[in-house]
Structure 1
Amino acid sequence: MSLLSIGKSGLFAAQAALSTTGHNITNANVAGYSRQGVVQSTSTAMGGTNGYIGTGTQIAQVKRYSDDFLNAQVRTAQSATSGLEAYQAQVSQVDNLLADTTSGLSPALQDFFSAVQNLTGDSAGVPSRAAMLSSAETLASRFQSMNGRLEEIRKGVNTQISSSVDSINSYASQIASLNDQIGKLSSSDSLNLPNDLLDQRDQLIMDLNKQVKATVVAGDNNSLTVSIGSGQPLVVGSQSFQLAATGSPTDQTRVTVGYVTNNKVTPIADNALTGGELGGALEFRTKSLDTAQNAMGRIAIGLAQTLNDQHHLGLDANGNPGGDFFSVAPADVTKNVNNNITSTTAITATVSDATQLTTSDYKVDFDGANYNVTRLSDNKKTVISPFPQTTPQTIDGLDFAVSGKADAGDNFLVRPTINGAANFKVALTDQSQIAAATPIATSVPLTNTGTAKISAGTVDKNYLAAPLTSAVNVSYDGGTKSLSGFPAGQSVSVTTTGGVTTAYAAGTAVPFSDGASYTVGGMSFTLSGVPGNGDTYTIAPNSGTGDTRNAGLIGQLQSKKILDNGSASYQSAYARLVSDVGNKTREVQANADAGAAQLAQAQTAANNVSGVNLDEEAANLLKYQQAYQAAGKVMQIADTLFDTLLSIGH
C-alpha cells in the first residue's frame, strides 16, 4: 500500500477519534450517557521473504465504557431508595397528623373526660350537661376529621399508583422499541453497536427502577429482557407487556395493580411489587395507612361500645334508662366481584366485645366444604362450625353470621374497624338524655337500732333484664344472723372481705358478714357495721336527678384498661398508635438516608467507568489533533515524493 494510503488511514482514524471526543464533551451532562472511545487496530501488513510492511490503521470499534455489574448495583440502589423516599413522604403525613398536640385525638379525649368529671362534681347541672354534650360532639368531629385526612392520603396513594403504572407502561414500550432498533443496527460480531441507543435504553431502565424494582437479563440480538414482581415479563425483545391500575376485587375503591394478558387483567399481590415509588406506595398503604386507620377505628368503636354499655346502666334527667351515647360503626363487608353470580351467601360481622377487637381485616371464603375466617394480619384460620349456624360464631370479639350457599373459591372481605372513626357520632339529641344517675338508691331507716350501714349501690348489665320497679327492704334477723327480703325468685351472691364468693338460692336465708358485698338481680351493695335485730335496709328505684354516680363510673373508663384484651386504655392505645407510626417514620427516614448514601456510592463507582471527565477529554483533543496533523504530514510527504518521481520521468 502506498504511503499516501497509510497517511489517509491515520487521518481518518484521528478524525474519528476527534469526533468521538467531541461527542463525549458535548454529551457530558446528558443523563445516562456513557463515555465512548475509538479502538484502533493495524491493517493487514504486506510483504514476504524480505519482511512485512505495515499498511496503516483501521477503526476496530467505537467502544462504550459501561460496566453491567456496576449498573445493576445502581439500579438496585435506585429502586430501594425511591421506594423508601416514597414511603417516607407518605408516612410522615400520618405521623404529623396523629402526633399533633393541638389537632390530634389526645386533647379531644382529655377534654371529653374532663367534662365528664365536671358534670360529676356539679351534680349533673344543666351547664355541665351542656358542656359534656358539646365536648362529645368535638370528640366525634375530631375522629371524623382525622379519618377524613387519612382518606385523603389514601386517595393520594391511589393516584400515585395509577401514575406509576402509566409511567411503567411508557418505559416498557420505549425499552421494547429500543430493543428493536438496537437489534437492527447491531453488527453480527456485537462489536459495533449503536452506543447512544444503548445509553438511552439503560437510562430508561434506570427510570423504570425509580417506579418499581425491575430485573434485567440479556436476551438475543443485544436485547434486554425486563421483568417485575414475581417474574412477570415486562419487556421481551421488541414486545412490551402492560400493567393496569384497577380496583381491588374485594374493594373497588382501592386501586391495585394488575398484569394484562389477552385483554384480561390478573391482579398482582401488593407484596410482590417492591421498590420504586410504586412499591413504596403499596407498602405504605398496607403496613402503615391501613393499620393506622384500623387502629383509630378500633379506639372509636371501643370507646363507643364500652361507654354505651355504662351509659345504659344509668338514668337520664327525666328518669329514663340511658340509651346509646355514641353510635357504633358496623363492620364493612364486601364480596369479591369475581364470586360466582349464583352465590347467595350473606355475611354479617357484629362487634360483640370491643375489648377483643384487633386491627386486622378478615377474609371469609368457602373452600367447597367449609366457610373459613382468616385473620389477614397473621393468616390464622378459623372454621365456621357448625354450619348451617344456629348462633353467630364469635372470633376476636366479632359475631360472624354466615348464611346461604356459595361456590368453592367465593370469598368476602370483612373490615371491622376501618369505618370506626368515620362513623363515630353522638347518638344523644338533648343534654337531658345524659344518664348521669344510677338507677337504684339505698337508704337506712332512722328506726334502725344497729350501726350497720349500706353502700350507695351499683348495677351491672344483668340489672337491665329486670329493672327494679318498687322498693326492696332487706331485713336482719339477729337470731339467725341472716338477711331476708331480697327480690323474689332471684339468687343472691355474697363476696366476703376475704374475697370468697358464695351463691345462695332464691328464698334461702343469706348470712350476714360485716363488710361483705351482696349481688342480686344485677344490683350490688355492701353492708358494714353491726346491725340490730329487725333492722332494715332499703333499695329503691332512683329518680335520676342530683345523682352523678353513673357519670363517675363513665369517667373511670378513661383510665380503665379496656382495649387489647384489657391491656390498654383509650389513651394508651392511641399513644401506642402514635408511637408505632412515629417509630416507623424514623425507621424509614433512617433507611432512606442510608439508601441515598449507598446509591451515591454505587453511582460514583459506575461513573468512574462510564462518566465523562472533561479534563481527560480536553487532553485527548490535543492528542488526536496532533495525530491528525501527523497523518496529514505523512500524506504531504507522500505527495512530495510522488512529485519528485514524476519530475525524474521528465
Structure 2
Amino acid sequence: MSSSALLGIGTRAMFANYAALQATGNNIANANTEGYSRQQVVLETAKGQFTGAGFFGKGVNVASVTRSYNSFLTTQASATKATAAGDAARAEQLKQVEAVFGTGKSGVGYSAGELLNAFVDVANQPADSSARQVVIARAKELADKFAAAGDQLQSIQTGITQDIRSSVDTVNSLAQQVGKLNEQIQALNGTGQPPNDLLDKRDNLISQISGYIGVTTIKADNGSIGVFVGGGQALVLGANANKLTTVADPYDPSKVQLGISVGSGLSSMIPQDALSDGSISGMLRFQNDDLVDARNLLGQMAAAISGAVNQQQSLGLDMGKPAGPGSPLYAVGAPRSLPAASNAGDAAFGVTLTDTTQVQASDYELQFDGTNYSLTRLSDNTAAVGSPFSAAQMAAGITVDGMTIQMTAGTSAAGDRTLLQPVADAAKDMRAVLSDPNGIAAASPVTATFTATNKGTATLASLAAVSTSLDRTLTANVSFTSDTGDYNWELLDSTGAQVSTGTGTWTAGSPIALNGFELKLNGVPKSGDTLSVAPTTSTEANNGNALAFVGIGTRNIVGGSTAANGSVTPGKTITDAYASALSDIGVRVQSAQTASSISDSAAAQAESARANKSGVNLDEEAAKLIQYQQSYQAAAKMLQVAQQVFDTLLQTAAG
C-alpha cells in the first residue's frame, strides 16, 4: 500500500463531507421555501482493493443526492387540499346568498306583512286617501325588496362566472408550466440522477392545480407525470398541456360550465358529477344547485304574494267613476322556456302560471323521446304528475304544479330537451304597477242586507268575492227555514227574474257560499230570518274586499301541491314560507361551513404529515452541520497525516 492510497481516501472523505455540508446548507437556506423537499447525500463505500494481505478500503463515494419524498403522503395532501378548497368556495358563496335573505325589517317577509297590515286602515276607512296611499307605498316597498334580492342573486351569478373564468386561466397557466417541467425532467432522465429541484417544483404546481380542480396523476417511465381531471380527461400528458375552457350552459347563456379543449381545439363539457373537488367544482356546485334553489325560493314567494294580491284586486271594486274591478297591483318576471343548444327540432313551449298557490320552487326539464314528452321536476328529480305526456296533450296544453305548458310552435326531434323556469325571474323583475290610490279595490262587489224584522242574532261577519265566476249583476236572497241553519236561496237578475234556486245548511264558523262569494255570520239565525246579497252601489263605505286583503296573511298561498290521486297538500302562509326559506338557506350555510371546517382540518393534517416527511427541521440540520463539519475536519487531518507520511518516505529514500 502506498501513501497515495491514504491521500485518495482522505480526498474522497473531504469531497463526501463537503457534499453533505452543501446539501445541509441548501436545506437550511430553503427551510421556508414552499414545496421544497429536504435533500440528503447518499454515500456508498468505494470498492476495496485486493492485496495479498486482504481487501483494503478505498474510502467513500457520493452515490446520489435524493429528496425526502413519499408518493402516498403527497397525493393525500393534494387530494385533501382539493376537497377543502371546494368546500371553502361553496361556503363563501352561500354566505352571500344568506345576506340576500335578510331578517327582521330588512326581509321581504316583514314587508309582505306591512303591506297586508296597511289594508287594515283601508278597511277601517275605505274612502281615506291617505290610508290608500300607504298601501301603494307598501306595495312598492315589497316589490322593490323582491327585485333587489333578485338582482343580488344575479350579481352573485355574474361574480361566479368571472371567478370560474379567472380560475380556469390560472389552471391553464399552471398546466403549461407542468408540461415544460415534464419536458425538462424527461430530458434529464438519462443521467441516472433525480433533478430534485425540478421534481419539487412540479409537485408544487400540481398541488396548486388541485386547489382549483381535483386531479389524478400517473407517472410515466420517462419521468414525466400525466395530470388528469374530470374522470380521465388529460390536462397534461408529457410535455403537452390541454386547456380547460368555460362553455355556455346548454340552456342558460348567463351561466358557464367547465369544458376541456383537446386536440382539434373543440371544447367538450365536463359533467359536474365528473369533477372531484377543487374551488372550481365548489363554485359550479353552488351555481348549478344552491343558487338555482335560492332564486326559485325567492321567485316562488314573489309569484305567490303577487298572484294572491292581484287575484283579490280583481274580485273587488275600486273607487273609479264608475267603479270597476281592481287592476293588478303587481307584475312579475315571466316564466322562461329555454331549449337546449343541441336540439335538432325547433319546437317552442309556452309556460303560464295558472294557480300561484300551487307553483313549486323548481325548474323543470322537458324531454322528448320521439313519441312522448317526460317532465321532470329538478328540485327533487321526480317525474311530474301525469308524465309522460303525448304530443297531442302538449299541443293542447297540460297543467302541472300550478302552471300550464303548451307547445306553441315548431316540432320536436327525438332527444330534444327544454328547460322550463316558471319562477326563476319572478322576483328579479317584480314591480308595482298600480300608482293610483283610488285604484285599490277595497269594496266588495256585493253588499249584504239583513231584514229588520229578523228574530235571530245573526249579523254580518264578513262578505267577500272568492271567485272570478261571481256574476256582479245578480242578487241572492237567503231565507232560513229552521233554527238549526237550514235555508233556501235564490238568484235574481237585474229585472227581478229568478235565475236559479237551491237549499243549504249553515253551521257556525262556516260560510254561506253562493255565486262566487262567501258570507260569514256572527250570532245565530232563526227560522224565518232573511237576508239579501245584492250588487254594491256605493264603494266609498264598503270594506269587504279590504278585509279579504288582510286575510291573505293567514292563507296558505305558497307551495301547495296536488297528488296524482287528487289529494291536496296545503301550502304555507307567506310569513311561514319566508321563514322556511331562511331556514333552508341557513341549514345550507351551516352545513357548508361544517364541511369546510372538517375538510380544512383534514387537509392541514395531511399537509403536516407530508411536511414531517419532506420538510426541513432546522434543529436537525444544525446538528448535521456540526457532524459533517467534524467529519470534514477529520478528513483534512487525514490528508495532513498522509502528507507527512509521504514526506517521511521521501526523506528516508533520499537518505
What are the equivalent positions in structure 2 for 1:217-296 lying under 5 Å apart?
Answer: 217-261=218-262, 262-296=264-298
CA contact (8 A) 1:314 1:321 kept: yes
What are the equivalent positions in structure 2 for 1:3-152 lying under 5 Å apart?
Answer: 3-152=6-155
Q: Report the CA distance between 1:577 and its aligned residue.
A: 1.0
1:580 maps to 584
Question: What letter matches 2:516 in structure 1?
Answer: G
The one of 637, 640, 646 aligned to 2:644: 640
What are the equivalent positions in structure 2 for 1:440-459 lying under 5 Å apart?
Answer: 440-446=446-452, 448=453, 451=456, 455=460, 457-459=463-465
What do residues 181-239 of structure 1 show as CA deviations (whole Å, max 9, x unaligned)? 112113475xx200111110111111111111111222222222211222222122222
Secondary structure (helix, strand or coil) at the match of 1:486 reads: strand
Q: Report the CA distance between 1:170 and its aligned residue.
A: 1.4
Give the 3 Å change call, closer, same or farther, for CA 187–554 of structure 1 in structure 2. Answer: same
Give the 3 Å change call, closer, same or farther, for CA 649–360 of structure 1 in structure 2. Answer: same
In 2, Cα distance between equivalents of 1:151 and 1:545:
43
Question: What letter matches 1:416 in structure 2?
Answer: P
Give the 3 Å change call, closer, same or farther, for CA 347–482 of structure 1 in structure 2. Answer: closer
Task: Show structure 1 runs of 5+ residues with no match.
Answer: 500-514
In 2, Cα distance between equivalents of 1:280 and 1:72:
20
Segment of structure 1 superposing worse, 420-429 or 452-461? 452-461
Give the 3 Å change call, closer, same or farther, for CA 526–38 of structure 1 in structure 2. Answer: closer
Give the 3 Å change call, closer, same or farther, for CA 180–366 of structure 1 in structure 2. Answer: same
In 1, Cα distance between equivalents of 2:501 and 2:165:
66
1:432 maps to 438
In 2, Cα distance between equivalents of 1:532 and 1:587:
65
CA contact (8 A) 2:371 2:390 kept: no
Residue identity (%): 32
CA contact (8 A) 1:491 1:520 kept: no
CA contact (8 A) 1:496 1:516 kept: no
1:385 maps to 390
Secondary structure (helix, strand or coil) at the match of 1:564 reads: coil
1:312 maps to 314
Question: What letter matches 1:609 in structure 2?
Answer: K
RMSD of aligned residue pairs (Cα, Å): 2.5
Task: Show structure 2 runs of 5+ residues with no match.
Answer: 561-569
2:351 maps to 349
In 1, Cα distance between equivalents of 2:104 and 2:436:
30
**Residues 1:523 and 2:532 aligned together:** no
Secondary structure (helix, strand or coil) at the match of 1:221 reads: coil
1:298 maps to 300
2:419 maps to 413
Question: What letter matches 2:534 in structure 1?
Answer: I
Aligned positions, number: 625
Give the 3 Å change call, closer, same or farther, for CA 618–492 of structure 1 in structure 2. Answer: farther
CA contact (8 A) 2:21 2:628 kept: yes
What do residues 516-539 of structure 1 show as CA deviations (whole Å, max 9, x unaligned)? 865433234468533549x67452
In 2, Cα distance between equivalents of 1:303 and 1:154:
25
In 1, Cα distance between equivalents of 2:481 and 2:49:
138
1:502 maps to none
In 1, Cα distance between equivalents of 2:378 and 2:478:
54
Question: What letter matches 1:45 in structure 2?
Answer: G
1:460 maps to 466
CA contact (8 A) 1:443 1:454 kept: no
The one of 396, 405, 409 aligned to 2:401: 396
CA contact (8 A) 1:17 1:37 kept: yes
Secondary structure (helix, strand or coil) at the match of 1:258 reads: strand
In 1, Cα distance between equivalents of 2:307 and 2:153:
23
Q: Report the CA distance between 1:493 and its aligned residue.
A: 5.8
CA contact (8 A) 2:490 2:499 kept: no
Question: What letter matches 1:36 in structure 2?
Answer: Q
CA contact (8 A) 2:136 2:435 kept: no
In 2, Cα distance between equivalents of 1:494 and 1:59:
111
In 2, Cα distance between equivalents of 1:639 and 1:377:
88
Give the 3 Å change call, closer, same or farther, for CA 316–195 of structure 1 in structure 2. Answer: same
Q: Report the CA distance between 1:278 and its aligned residue.
A: 0.8
2:538 maps to 543
Secondary structure (helix, strand or coil) at the match of 2:91 reads: helix
What do residues 425-475 of structure 1 show as CA deviations (whole Å, max 9, x unaligned)? 1121311110011100122355x57658574643221534xx232655566
Secondary structure (helix, strand or coil) at the match of 2:556 reads: coil
In 2, Cα distance between equivalents of 1:207 and 1:266:
24
1:505 maps to none
**Residues 1:563 and 2:578 aligned together:** no
CA contact (8 A) 1:124 1:548 kept: no
Secondary structure (helix, strand or coil) at the match of 2:357 reads: helix
Give the 3 Å change call, closer, same or farther, for CA 420–29 of structure 1 in structure 2. Answer: same
Segment of structure 1 superposing worse, 419-428 or 517-526? 517-526
Give the 3 Å change call, closer, same or farther, for CA 48–645 of structure 1 in structure 2. Answer: closer
In 2, Cα distance between equivalents of 1:72 and 1:184:
24
In 1, Cα distance between equivalents of 2:7 and 2:454:
141
Question: What letter matches 1:556 in structure 2?
Answer: G
Q: Report the CA distance between 1:609 and its aligned residue.
A: 1.0
1:509 maps to none
In 2, Cα distance between equivalents of 1:316 and 1:201:
75
Segment of structure 1 superposing worse, 273-282 or 482-491? 482-491
2:491 maps to 486
Secondary structure (helix, strand or coil) at the match of 1:461 reads: coil
Segment of structure 1 superposing worse, 635-644 or 398-407? 635-644
CA contact (8 A) 1:314 1:322 kept: yes
CA contact (8 A) 1:454 1:525 kept: no
The one of 552, 558, 561 aligned to 2:547: 552
What are the equivalent positions in structure 2 for 1:361-376 lying under 5 Å apart?
Answer: 361-376=363-378
CA contact (8 A) 1:492 1:520 kept: no
CA contact (8 A) 2:395 2:406 kept: no
2:608 maps to 604
What do residues 598-639 of structure 1 show as CA deviations (whole Å, max 9, x unaligned)? 222222211111110111111211111122222222222222
Q: Report the CA distance between 1:156 and its aligned residue.
A: 1.0
Question: What letter matches 1:279 in structure 2?
Answer: S
In 1, Cα distance between equivalents of 2:528 and 2:423:
56
Q: Report the CA distance between 1:580 and its aligned residue.
A: 1.3
In 2, Cα distance between equivalents of 1:101 and 1:445:
48
In 2, Cα distance between equivalents of 1:288 and 1:587:
12
What do residues 255-287 of structure 1 show as CA deviations (whole Å, max 9, x unaligned)? 211121221111122233232211221122233
In 2, Cα distance between equivalents of 1:160 and 1:127:
49
Secondary structure (helix, strand or coil) at the match of 2:650 reads: helix
1:330 maps to 334
Q: Report the CA distance between 1:162 and its aligned residue.
A: 0.6
Give the 3 Å change call, closer, same or farther, for CA 493–307 of structure 1 in structure 2. Answer: farther
In 2, Cα distance between equivalents of 1:260 and 1:493:
74
With normalisation by structure 2, the TM-score equals: 0.90
User: Runs ≥4 in structure 1, deviation > 6 angstroms?
Assistant: 475-478
The one of 500, 505, 530 aligned to 1:496: 505
Give the 3 Å change call, closer, same or farther, for CA 225–490 of structure 1 in structure 2. Answer: farther
What do residues 538-561 of structure 1 show as CA deviations (whole Å, max 9, x unaligned)? 523343221111111111111212
In 2, Cα distance between equivalents of 1:519 and 1:560:
18
1:628 maps to 632
**Residues 1:201 and 2:207 aligned together:** no
